[in-house]
Structure 1
Amino acid sequence: MSARTSRRDPDRRRALLEAADAVIGREGPEASMAAIAAEAGVSKPILYRHFGDKSGLYQTLAERHSRVLIEAIRESMRRDAGGMRGRVHDGIDTYLALIAENLHFYRFLMHRARAEDTATHSVMSTVMHSLGREIADLLLADAGVHDPARAQVWGHAIVGMVQNAGDWWLDHPDVERASVVAALTDLVLSGLPAAAVASS
């Protein structure tokens, strides 16, 4: 079966992705392509043929799971409840909740696949840049920020800060998520007014 033919069989492709999800869900970053192929009942060459190669499989998984993450965060940040503080709080809380609930996938995609494959690194970087733009738009619309370039800088800085704090938190499960969310929300909302004053 050619790669072109395999792409015309969405049910088979979906079954292979579900097999990958099952193995990664059990094994996390250590999940092997051989284990994914075995889960799907195919050989590794057949698995790769459906996605072009290992890189193609990594990219498809990254796109599949990042869409869910982006949509969930976008929805939480667009709610009006609680004003700016509520939006920042809910966006951070949604992000941390999702990476904790999908810990094996997060570590597989953000650490292993991203490190092994430049194309997957690009996909995940695009996800983070998209979130940065979302936050920049929120700052321009609701936080009294008037300089688009400054909003972009702050938006991407917030994403990087939350991502790194989230990585730390995943290694310290004894710390309650609510405490991390509150600390990050306070930092964002106390830092932005000071920076706005300094730039005026």
Structure 2
Amino acid sequence: MTGARRDPGRRRALLEAADRVIQREGPGASMAAIAAEAGISKPILYRHFGDKSGLYQALAERHTRKLLEGIRTEFSGGDPIRERTRSTIDTYLASISANLNLYRFLMHRASAEDAATHSAMSTMIREVSLALAEVMIAEGRLADPGGRARAYVWGHAVVGMVQNAGDWWLDHAGEVPRETVVDGLADLILGGLPAAAGYSDRVPELFHE
């Protein structure tokens, strides 16, 4: 490994150059443009990360880990469940809309081009699903034999639903206010999960305040 690749300051500067180009040019930003922004050649850019796949994965780690940790923190807070649900969804939508080109680069272009990046992104999304399921289990009283399995099913379903709804909203953000999406998803989640749990006349203890 070269000294340049061991230099975290230089690595961070190259990732910041990549951020600028992607934010400016969108998901079609080229590796040549990123290298030019950093003032180096494309082979030297790759040398710092091993190859293009390494650069993609470094960008994915840089941006998605922070986002997903924020989501976990929001949902695990001490506020009532509706406020936590709304805040978590709003945090996610606000982040992806504020970093639209980076989001589309990572979730669509990089994941489509590179299997390792796709796997890394999928792993991080699964981690959030599992964390959400654990919160459900910790806060509820899922004593029946299938309770834990049901929580994991719900966790993955909720995360997938919010992610897909967020993708749709990014294409309609000029027409649909973010608050409308947040409220719609919160209503669906907090109305749908109690129904799935077999309750019809009260919020189950899974969602106790």
Distance in 1 separating the partners of 2:142 and 2:29: 44
CA contact (8 A) 1:133 1:155 kept: yes
CA contact (8 A) 2:5 2:47 kept: no
Gaps in structure 1 of 5+ consecutive residues: none
Distance in 2 separating the partners of 1:103 and 1:121: 18
Partner of 2:193: 192
Counterpart secondary structure, 1:197 = coil
Counterpart secondary structure, 1:148 = helix
How big is the shift at 1:5? Answer: 2.6
Counterpart secondary structure, 1:110 = helix
Partner of 2:37: 39
How big is the shift at 1:26? Answer: 0.7
How big is the shift at 1:98? Answer: 0.5
Partner of 2:53: 55
How big is the shift at 1:71? Answer: 1.8
Paired residues in the alignment total: 195
Counterpart secondary structure, 1:29 = coil
Distance in 2 separating the partners of 1:4 and 1:121: 27
How big is the shift at 1:9? Answer: 1.5
Counterpart secondary structure, 2:172 = coil
CA contact (8 A) 2:136 2:151 kept: yes
Partner of 1:104: 101
How far does the alpha carbon of each residue in 1:90-121 deviate from its partner, in whole angstroms, 9 at most, with x for none?
11111111101110110000000000000000
Counterpart secondary structure, 1:80 = coil
Distance in 1 separating the partners of 2:126 and 2:83: 22
Partner of 1:90: 87
Q: TM-score, normalised by structure 2?
A: 0.90
* 1:31-180 equivalence runs, <5 A: 31-81=29-79, 83-146=80-143, 147-173=147-173, 174-180=175-181
Tell me the amino acid that sits aligned with residue 19 of structure 2. D
Distance in 1 separating the partners of 2:141 and 2:111: 36
Distance in 2 separating the partners of 1:186 and 1:144: 22
Partner of 2:205: none
Distance in 2 separating the partners of 1:144 and 1:57: 44
Distance in 1 separating the partners of 2:130 and 2:161: 15
Partner of 2:182: 181
Partner of 2:204: none
CA contact (8 A) 1:132 1:156 kept: yes
Counterpart secondary structure, 2:176 = coil
- Going from structure 1 to structure 2, the CA distance change for 1:176 and 1:143 (only over 3 Å counts) comes to farther
How far does the alpha carbon of each residue in 1:152-188 deviate from its partner, in whole angstroms, 9 at most, with x for none?
1100000000000000000001200000000000000
How big is the shift at 1:4? Answer: 3.6
CA contact (8 A) 1:84 1:142 kept: no
Distance in 2 separating the partners of 1:96 and 1:5: 39
| Greater share of helix | 1
How far does the alpha carbon of each residue in 1:16-56 deviate from its partner, in whole angstroms, 9 at most, with x for none?
11110110111120110000000000000000000000000
CA contact (8 A) 2:72 2:132 kept: no
Partner of 1:18: 16
Distance in 2 separating the partners of 1:154 and 1:27: 37
RMSD: 1.2
